[in-house]
Amino acid sequence: MQSNNTIHDRYQLSRAMLKGDAVTMEKSGYALHALADALAEPEIDLHTRHGLLAAVKIIAHQIEERGEFVLERLEADQ
């Protein structure tokens, strides 16, 4: 299916996607570092460990969703 977007529209969308990707990756990186540090604590209780693992899954889900969005936009632009 042919897209009716102009070159300028595509450029603007590309810039917006890159910005969104950069923000998602940066925030995810900070969060994962903090989670890794917390999980490395030798005396972490089971409840806390499960909570931290749930947080890792939430971050992974956000990254997956962002990747799917970008791929959909790229396919729509072909």
C-alpha 76/C-alpha 70 separation (Å) is 10
pLDDT at 9: 86
The Cβ of residue 31 has, within 10 Å, a number of other Cβ atoms equal to 15
pLDDT at 17: 83
Higher pLDDT, 77 or 51: 51
Residue 27's closest CA among 53, 68, 69, 55?
Answer: 55
For the chain, which residues make up each domain, given as ranges?
A: 7-76
End-to-end CA separation in angstroms for the chain = 8
Q: Which amino acid is at 60?
A: A
The band of 23, judged by pLDDT with boundaries at 50, 70 and 90, is confident
pLDDT at 78: 64
pLDDT at 76: 77
Chain-centre distance for alpha carbon 20: 9
